[in-house]
Each structure stands twice: as structure tokens, then as C-alpha cells.
């Protein structure tokens, strides 16, 4: 177990948000025994203008009109420090690598100074740096923070996303070769990153077991249960990963079932297709604290992903969230799901997926629900953070020797 260390997380995601984030979950656990500074997503000047004109962006903290650093309580007597960086120039649209680098570097002195100043204020010396899927900052920060160890936490396929297509894979490869180790969130990512760094490990995504295993305090889907036989649910972003044709077939095949999607919607064409079906309901993003109430109201949880370059690298957060609530899970075979083949129905094609819905609804039992909960308890973020910390301890002990994978 990792204890009494100074950890700085250079994160891509913001701390707050209407969905659970693996980086936030891991840092929350590590902060219970260590001093952790979470450096949020670097907002641009363009973002600042959006915040001034009403968008939910903390522009006053970004500009330094309010303190850029704040304390977030995470447990009894424990907290994490969260830092908003000064604004940077928007550069993601630039395609030429040399131009991109020059303009990116213009913003970096004030970024580095902001982090160093915060380190001094918090008394953080010789920190462990965990870069969470942010090689965009990582290449500018590595070696500049007097770090004892520098790790890259890779939890997605960076080269397959639309917003990273210009520079993501190139910057990741440069950064990954410099760090002390890479920690991935799936076996697929581990396999594809091993050539970038000789020290490569996997820590799979977990679940906030205490949250998702507790009984609901209210039923947010009560009105749908009055109209439909069962509730079939999905928690997560409604985006390019979803097999919309598959969901349309499911809705048409089972008009007496309600198909509920809880999460932000970013795929407008897919949204339009789903809304054509009277038994499909898009409920939008919900506070993380409310997600368990929704899942507890489901009769069945779905992961209807397409199989492509993006999804095959995913270890889905939602699978353990469904299981922690005791819910049956049906998934497409989009990636490496070997850990769950004995506890979920992983289907190979559309007809299998559609048929699995009635099979799981009819065969569910108390014993099955208890077994699912027991499996999920072994995959908690507490367990995952302990493994993450043990990897760091091994790397620290082996310095300056090479770590054997």
C-alpha cells in the first residue's frame, strides 16, 4: 500500500462533472493515505470567454480572480487539493506539428509556474507525477517538477478520437518513451502500449462499490414502471460507441419494455433515431450520487457498443456498476470482456443480443443477484487503487534499476 507520498495528477478530465471518472476515483482513494494535488484540464482562452458568457466554466479561478486551488473533502478528515491552471492558447485545430509545438510552448511557463507555486504552498517535494491521459501537457512538464517518478495512466485509445486525431498518437508516443512506466486500464491497451515503454502495467477500471451496492433511497423511474412491464437501462454517454440500429431493433421487438438511457448525449443523429421509438427514453446526465438510484430501478443493464478501434480498448466502468447493484448485464462483444464471461451475457450478434433480453429477465434470481454483487466487490476502486499504489512502490524500490514486467 502506498502511504505518505506527495502525488500530483496531471489530469485530462475536470474534477467535477455529471459522470464518474476513473481518474477521479483513483485519486480519491490514493488521497486517503497520501497528499494529492489534482491538476484539472487546462482550459483555453476560448473556454474563458464561454464561461464569461454563461457556460459552466470556472473562469474566475482560471483567470486568478478567485483562488485557483481548492480543497475537496473525500472522507472523514481527508481531502484532496484541486488546481485550476491559468488559461492556455487553443491549439488543437493546428495540424502542422512544429507550429503546434511552438504555440503550445508559449503557454507552458505560466502552467509550470502555477504548479510549482502550488507545490511550494502545499509543501510537496519530490512528487510522484501521474499523468492521466494528458500527453499534451505531459511533454511540456516532464522533468520540470523535480519529480521522483513520472507515470502515464492510459485509459483510452488516444489515436481513435476525433478531437485527438491531429496530434494525439504522436504526442503519446513521445511522452510514453520518456516516462518511468505506463499504467493502462485494459489488457488491450497494455498490449498496444508495450512497445512504447519497457515498464508497462495494467490496472483495470473499478467501481465505487459502497455507492452502487446500497439500496436506493427513491425510485426515479417510477412513472415508467406504471406504463411498462420492465425497465431496461443504460448508464453512460450516448455517443458514437452505441449501436443505434441494435437499440432500435430491441425497442421494436419489446414494445412492452422501457429502454432508458441515463447520460449526456453527444451523437445527435443517434439521438434522433432513438427518439422515434415511444419506449426509448433519453434522460440526460444525472449527478453521480443519483446514478445508483437509477441502476437500482433497472431490471436489466445493457452495454450496446459497436466493435471498433475505440471500443475494443475499453474496460467499461458501467459493467461493475451494474453488477454491484445485482443487475444482470447484456453486452455486445466489443472488446476484451474475458473477466465477465461467467457472470454476464456477452453476445456475438444482433439476434443473440435481442434474445438475451427475454432470457435474462426470465431467469434472474436472488442467488444470481448476490453472486453479481460478490464479484463486483472484488473490483472496487479500493482494490484497484491498492494495486496502483503497489506498482508505484515497486518502481520506487527498483530505482534506478529497470523494472521487469
User: Domain limits of the chain?
Assistant: 6-206+380-398, 209-377
At residue 351, does pLDDT exceed 50? yes
Contact yes or no for 150/177 (Cβ under 8 A): no
Place 398 in a pLDDT band, splitting at 50, 70 and 90.
Answer: confident
Cα angle at 287 between 82 and 381, to 5 degrees?
60
Of the two residues 302 and 404, the one the predictor is more confident about is 302
Fold for 6-206+380-398, please state it: Rossmann fold (3.40.50)
The stretch 239-245 carries a mean pLDDT of: 96
227: exposed, middle or buried (Cβ count in 10 Å: 0-12, 13-18, 19+): exposed
Question: Which residues lie closer than 8 Å to 192 by C-beta, 6 or more apart?
Answer: 157, 313
pLDDT value at 152 more than 50 = yes
Task: Give the mean model confidence (pLDDT) for residues 148-168.
Answer: 90
* 113: phi then psi, degrees, rounded to nearest 5: -65, -35
| Chain mean position to CA 47 | 22
Residues 206/273, Cβ–Cβ less than 8 Å: no
Residue 188's pLDDT is 93
Global pTM exceeds 0.75: yes
Task: Note the pLDDT of residue 336.
Answer: 84
CA quadruple 39, 41, 42, 44: dihedral sign: negative
What pLDDT, on a 0 to 100 scale, did the predictor assign at position 16? 92
Cα–Cα distance measured from residue 343 to residue 377, given in angstroms and rounded to the nearest whole number: 13
Query: For residue range 289-317, what is the model confidence (pLDDT) as tens digits?
Result: 999 999 999 999 999 999 988 899 889 89
Q: What is the mean pLDDT of residues 2-11?
A: 97
Please give the pLDDT value at position 81: 98
CA–CA dist 2, 389 (Å, integer): 5
* pLDDT score at 163: 77
Q: Could you give the percent of the chain with pLDDT greater than 90?
A: 91
User: For position 400, what pLDDT does the model report?
Assistant: 63
Of 92 and 403, the structure prediction assigns the larger pLDDT to: 92
Determine what percent of the chain is predicted with pLDDT higher than 70.
Answer: 99
**Could you tell me if 271 and 246 are in contact, meaning their C-beta atoms sit under 8 angstroms apart?**
no
Mean pLDDT of 360-375: 97
What average pLDDT does range 67-86 have in this prediction?
95
Question: Average pLDDT of the chain?
Answer: 95
**How far is residue 20's CA from residue 155's CA, in Å, rounded to a whole number?**
14
Q: How many other β-carbons are positioned within 10 Å of the β-carbon of residue 404?
A: 8
* Fold equal for 6-206+380-398 and 209-377: yes
Task: State yes or no: pLDDT of 403 exceeds 60.
Answer: no
* Domain 209-377 listed as CATH 3.40.50.2000: yes
Strand order in the sheet with 181-184: 69-75, 78-83, 35-39, 6-11, 128-132, 149-154, 181-184, 200-202
Amino acid at each position: 500500500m502506498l502511504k505518505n507520498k506527495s502525488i500530483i495528477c496531471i489530469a485530462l478530465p475536470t474534477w467535477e462533472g455529471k459522470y464518474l471518472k476513473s481518474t477521479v476515483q483513483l485519486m480519491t482513494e490514493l488521497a486517503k493515505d497520501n497528499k494529492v494535488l489534482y491538476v484539472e484540464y487546462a482550459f483555453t482562452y476560448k473556454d474563458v470567454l464561454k464561461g464569461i458568457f454563461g457556460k459552466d466554466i470556472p473562469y474566475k479561478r482560471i483567470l486568478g480572480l478567485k483562488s485557483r486551488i481548492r480543497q475537496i473533502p473525500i472522507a472523514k478528515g481527508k481531502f484532496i487539493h484541486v488546481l485550476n491552471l491559468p488559461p492556455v492558447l487553443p491549439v488543437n485545430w493546428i495540424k502542422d506539428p512544429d507550429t503546434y509545438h511552438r504555440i503550445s510552448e508559449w503557454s507552458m511557463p505560466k502552467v509550470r509556474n502555477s504548479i510549482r507555486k502550488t507545490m511550494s504552498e502545499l509543501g510537496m517535494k519530490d512528487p510522484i507525477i501521474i499523468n492521466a491521459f494528458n500527453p499534451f501537457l505531459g511533454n511540456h512538464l516532464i522533468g520540470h517538477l523535480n519529480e521522483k517518478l513520472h507515470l502515464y495512466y492510459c485509459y483510452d485509445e488516444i489515436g481513435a478520437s476525433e478531437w485527438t486525431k491531429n496530434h494525439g498518437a504522436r504526442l503519446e508516443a513521445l511522452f510514453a518513451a520518456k516516462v518511468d512506466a505506463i499504467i493502462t486500464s485494459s489488457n488491450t491497451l497494455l498490449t498496444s502500449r508495450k512497445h512504447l515503454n519497457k515498464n508497462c502495467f495494467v490496472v483495470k477500471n473499478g467501481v465505487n462499490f459502497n455507492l452502487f451496492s446500497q439500496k436506493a433511497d427513491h425510485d426515479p423511474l417510477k412513472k415508467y414502471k406504471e406504463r411498462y412491464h420492465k425497465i431496461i437501462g443504460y448508464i453512460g454517454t450516448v455517443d458514437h460507441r452505441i449501436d443505434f440500429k441494435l437499440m432500435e431493433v430491441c425497442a421494436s421487438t419489446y414494445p412492452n419494455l422501457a429502454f432508458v438511457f441515463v447520460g449526456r448525449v453527444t451523437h445527435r443523429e443517434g439521438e434522433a433515431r432513438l427518439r422515434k421509438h415511444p419506449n426509448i427514453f433519453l434522460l440526460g446526465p444525472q449527478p453521480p450520487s443519483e446514478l445508483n438510484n437509477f441502476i437500482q430501478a433497472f431490471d436489466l443493464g445493457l452495454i450496446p457498443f459497436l466493435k471498433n478501434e475505440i471500443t475494443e480498448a475499453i474496460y467499461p466502468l458501467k459493467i461493475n456498476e451494474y453488477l454491484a447493484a445485482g443487475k444482470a448485464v447484456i453486452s455486445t462483444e466489443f472488446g476484451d470482456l474475458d473477466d465477465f464471461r461467467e457472470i454476464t451475457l456477452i453476445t456475438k450478434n444482433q439476434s443473440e443480443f435481442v434474445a438475451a433480453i427475454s432470457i435474462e429477465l426470465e431467469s434472474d434470481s436472488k442467488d444470481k443477484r448476490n453472486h453479481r454483487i460478490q464479484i463486483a466487490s472484488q473490483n472496487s476502486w479500493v482494490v484497484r487503487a491498492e494495486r496502483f499504489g503497489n506498482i508505484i512502490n515497486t518502481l520506487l524500490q527498483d530505482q534506478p534499476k529497470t523494472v521487469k514486467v
